[in-house]
Structure 1
Amino acid sequence: MERSNFASEIPIFEIPGGVHPEEHKTRSNQADIRTLSLPDELIINIKGQAGNRSIPVVEVGDTVLKGQMIAECDGIFSSYQHAPTSGTIVAIEDRTIAHPSGLSDQCIIIQPDGKDKWCQLTPVRDFDQLSREEMLATIFESGIVGLGGASFPAHIKLKRESGIHTLIINAAECEPYITCDDRLLREHSREVLKGAEVISKLYSDIDIVVGIEDNKPSAIDALVSARKELGFSNIKIAVVPTKYPSGGEKQLIQIITGKEVPHGKLPADLGLVMHNVGTCFAIYETFYLGKPLIQRLVTLTGDACKEPGNYWVPFGTPVSHIINQTHAESPKRIIMGGPMMGYELPSTEVGIVKATNCIIMSAEGELGFDNPTLPCIRCGACMDACPASLLPQQLYWHAQADEFDKAEEYDLFDCIECGACAYVCPSHIPLVQYYRYAKSSIKNNRIEKTKAEKARQRHEARQERLERVKREKAERHRKAAEARKKAAQKAGKKDEKKAAVQAALERVKAKKKAQENKDDNKPATGEEK
């Protein structure tokens, strides 16, 4: 591909590892952005973002307008969902979701009415008058998540204010095939930079840097023109060499700043916050147009795709509809995401989610997934390619042997799952799959351990409660017995006193009676005679 001659406006640093896979970008980045027709139904997975599952606020039979909220967040680590078009809620049920497991999850099914009628929109153009909390709430309630692939709720990244001095806009888009960010910048650079300006208002004093690979000359030119037109002199453009995975969050930070995010830390700990260009565009639409996040730009490509390009795709659009709209001919595999970090879809009936940046409709033998897996030859190529400076070979052995403690000792969770190690592996070992297996197993073990600990605490609390109740009952019985004893003793004393009085009365009566008897037996005197 053509490389830009635009010189980076800030110093650029090197990162370890990395690879240079064939780019396959020109097939999709030449045409203007297009729009797909609406499908017969939209399948909206309410867990279609990182974090907790959203909670439906609609019922079957309800009619909804475009942009209307259909699911609310479940706690702060979640996302609102909005109707991508107007129509009727025809079902809320489990459907196969966009996940390599092929599992089902709860989805809201909307049947479009064809009118595409918006609900009432309330732009927030004068956002200078909003408090920081109000601006974050607007982003939160619009359902905006990171659109670079992780789909992490955007407001959480922006929550920390103190110590943040630099906003990095990630426009590197280093993975092969994917060109949605490139095309977005070519056609909507002004909107992206305005979205970045909104983010900058959340901080008192912040620098803005756009990190972009040099294989996007048209996008760089568009950025330069938009910056000049808008007068955003505080925005710097960092043109970085094309190498995968330079678009990874930690990798791009290291390239632009020369600083490495420490193990177990976040970019915010270095005073940095990063957002994707798609996220900036979504924030622009929320504040300037009042639109929630209901669609995203998706690269549709692959040898089987007859009309490759970048399309605005409403969330919930079934992949089968995309295949039909682009006239794909019997794709061998359907990959969601890029060839390095994406995964094969279990079904074409899954709906597009917020994390979907690319759909690859591959032809036979296109992606090399059919190569047989051979034993590891210990060549060390994976170690040289790792951008996180890990030991992929060691991680593979420990993951394969279920030695998860040892895998963690080798910093398993520092792996960004970029797939560079698997790309260079001459034995075609699916290394990333082993790492994902180990990570998920460790997380599940932690969950089970937490559940067991909570169960133990509940059991001990119950036993303690039963013992306490038993002690309290015994104490009540003891006190009751003492009370009865005292009452008996008191009653006994009363009886003794009463008996004494009665005895005295009896003696008085007896004495009186004896006296009367004595008088009756006394002899009569002369007069009486």
Structure 2
Amino acid sequence: MERSNFTSEIAIFEIPGGVHPEEHKLQSNQAEIRRLPLADELVINLKGQAGNRSLPVVSVGDKVLKGQMIAECDGVFSAYQHAPTSGEVIAIEKRTIAHPSGLDDLCIVIKPDGEDTWAELSPVENLEDLSGKELSGKELSREKILAQIFEKGIVGLGGASFPSHIKLKQKDNIHTLIINAAECEPYITCDDKLLQEHAEEVLKGAEIISKLYHDIKIIVGIEDNKPKAIEALDSARKSLELDSIKLGIVPTKYPSGGEKQLIQLLTGQEVPHGKLPADLGLVMHNVGTCFAIYQAIALGKPLVERLVTLTGEACQEPGNYWIPFGTPVHHLVTATGSTNPKRLIMGGPMMGYELPNDQVGIVKATNCIIMSADGELGMDKTALPCIRCGKCMDACPASLLPQQLYWHAQADEFDKAEEYDLFDCIECGACAYVCPSHIPLVQYYRYAKSTIRNNRIEKSKAEKARERHEARQERLERVKREKAERHRKAAEARKKAAAEAGKKDAKKAAVQAALARVKAKKEAQKATDDNQDGES
């Protein structure tokens, strides 16, 4: 692909490892952004973002408007869901979801009415006052902006779909905002096209984010294989008079768009093991997220659609399209005139996964659908034994030992895999790409990670069960002790009462005896007196 002649405005550093796969981006980045006709039904997955499943607030038969909330968040680590179009809720049931497992999960199914009528929108007013001088006013505005981002269902659109308001909550010691426009994975061009056609809105979104912090600098990190996007950014920056925003143009190498890798490229800093970018004073957001935040704040629009790259040799009309969430992939295939793709990959060829079928609906994390032709992605190659060549180690951008991780994951030696920093693996697939034995290394790492997480959950459940059992046993013992104590006290009370009753009875008997003696004495005296009267 063509490379930009624009010079980076900041120093660029090196990252370890990385690979240079074929880019396959010209297939989809030549046409303008388009829309497809609405699907007959939209299947909105309530677990379509990182965190907890959303909870439905509509019922079957309800009429909904575009942008109306249909599912509320379940705790802070969750996201609201909104109707992607106006229509009727025809089902709330389990459907196959976009996930490597191919499992079913709860979905809201909406039948569009074709009107695409928006609900009432509530944009934030007086955006220019966000950076007011009074601290109290700034804090109130900050809370208002974060609440708007939260309520509009904004999540990271770079792939992780992590709720954006959580990332933005920390405000102290944050000095740099990095906008991730690298988009390093092959085939995917949605960020590239978004910048080409909507660079001003993206930069306005970045400016809104910057208002949430005090004295923060903004860097846009972008690979040099996006000359039109770089030109659009530069032009938008000048027209908006945002000269403080710097462009960091990095050499094209996969996975330069990974969060930790781009941070290292742009700042020279490495995010330590177990730490977050915020610990270094950095916060990063994808260009799509910036665009969504601009629309949520300035226009009041919730996140109901996203730009998706439709590509692959089996795709007859490759390009980038605005796709409402819940649109079945089958509709995308037929609407682009495509027929019989060999595989349907959600995401890129390096980090994406094959869909279980074409009925699943797209989610907030969906940035690309690859409709591959037979033999296009090289996924049919037979895995051979590892030859210990070490190429995977050289390619790893996280400086891990992929071969060791593979051996331990394969042998279910999860403790040893963790010792080799398994969870530092970003699952970029660079190791599998260079493997001459075609071993699906990332699948082993994902298996090990999911097993470890499940084991931790089971251990946590067992620990809680043990605590509940011990608490129950303690409660039963306490009740037993309390019951025994009550019985002891009752017995003592009865004994005391009996003793007191005995004393009373003895006293009463003594009184009765005394009375009897007095009576007997009186009777005896009377008898004596009567005898004396008789004698006389």
Residue of structure 1 aligned with 2:159, choices 149, 167, 173: 149
Return the offset for 1:521: 2.4
CA offset digits 1:339-374 (Å, max 9, x no partner) = 000000001000000000000000000000011100
Match of 2:405 in 1: 395
Within the alignment, does 1:516 sit opposite 2:522 as a pair? no
Give the percent of matched residue pairs that are identical in Structure 1 and Structure 2: 79
- Evaluate the alpha carbon distance shift between residue 520 and residue 19 of structure 1 in structure 2; reply closer, same or farther with a 3 A threshold: same
| 2:462 alignment partner AA | A
CA offset digits 1:32-88 (Å, max 9, x no partner) = 000011000000001100000000000000000000000000000000000000000
Match of 1:330 in 2: 340
| 2:512 alignment partner AA | Q
Residue of structure 2 aligned with 1:206, choices 209, 213, 216: 216
Within the alignment, does 1:246 sit opposite 2:246 as a pair? no
Give the whole-Å Cα distance in 2 for the aligned partners of 1:309 and 1:486.
95
| 1:152 alignment partner AA | F
Within the alignment, does 1:34 sit opposite 2:40 as a pair? no
Larger Rg: 1
Give the whole-Å Cα distance in 2 for the aligned partners of 1:13 and 1:505.
117
Give the whole-Å Cα distance in 2 for the aligned partners of 1:131 and 1:22.
46
Match of 1:177 in 2: 187
5 Å-filtered alignment, 1:418-497, equals 418-497=428-507
- Evaluate the alpha carbon distance shift between residue 297 and residue 503 of structure 1 in structure 2; reply closer, same or farther with a 3 A threshold: same
Return the offset for 1:319: 0.2
Aligned residues: 526
Dislocated runs of 4+, deviation >6 Å: none
Structure 2, gaps ≥5 residues long? 131-139
Within the alignment, does 1:123 sit opposite 2:127 as a pair? no
TM-score of the pair, normalised by structure 2 = 0.97
Match of 1:63 in 2: 63
Give the whole-Å Cα distance in 2 for the aligned partners of 1:282 and 1:521.
129
Match of 1:291 in 2: 301
CA offset digits 1:303-334 (Å, max 9, x no partner) = 00010000000000000000001111210000
| 1:491 alignment partner AA | A
| 2:520 alignment partner AA | A
Match of 2:136 in 1: none
Give the whole-Å Cα distance in 2 for the aligned partners of 1:179 and 1:515.
132
| 1:111 alignment partner AA | K
Give the whole-Å Cα distance in 2 for the aligned partners of 1:329 and 1:43.
22
Match of 2:54 in 1: 54
5 Å-filtered alignment, 1:320-359, equals 320-359=330-369
5 Å-filtered alignment, 1:272-283, equals 272-283=282-293
Within the alignment, does 1:371 sit opposite 2:381 as a pair? yes
Give the whole-Å Cα distance in 1 for the aligned partners of 2:78 and 2:383.
39
Within the alignment, does 1:132 sit opposite 2:142 as a pair? yes
Within the alignment, does 1:502 sit opposite 2:512 as a pair? yes
Return the offset for 1:511: 1.2
Return the offset for 1:519: 2.2
Return the offset for 1:176: 0.1
Return the offset for 1:513: 1.3
TM-score of the pair, normalised by structure 1 = 0.99
The secondary structure found in structure 2 opposite 1:212 is strand
Structure 1, gaps ≥5 residues long? none
| 1:96 alignment partner AA | T
Give the whole-Å Cα distance in 2 for the aligned partners of 1:91 and 1:468.
50
Return the offset for 1:385: 0.1
The secondary structure found in structure 1 opposite 2:468 is helix
| 1:22 alignment partner AA | E
| 2:416 alignment partner AA | K
The secondary structure found in structure 2 opposite 1:132 is helix
Give the whole-Å Cα distance in 2 for the aligned partners of 1:477 and 1:326.
82
The secondary structure found in structure 1 opposite 2:532 is coil
| 2:72 alignment partner AA | E
Match of 1:114 in 2: 114
Match of 2:8 in 1: 8
Give the whole-Å Cα distance in 1 for the aligned partners of 2:123 and 2:513.
103
| 2:26 alignment partner AA | T
The secondary structure found in structure 1 opposite 2:309 is strand
Return the offset for 1:495: 1.0
- Evaluate the alpha carbon distance shift between residue 25 and residue 507 of structure 1 in structure 2; reply closer, same or farther with a 3 A threshold: same
Give the whole-Å Cα distance in 2 for the aligned partners of 1:225 and 1:505.
123
- Evaluate the alpha carbon distance shift between residue 71 and residue 524 of structure 1 in structure 2; reply closer, same or farther with a 3 A threshold: closer
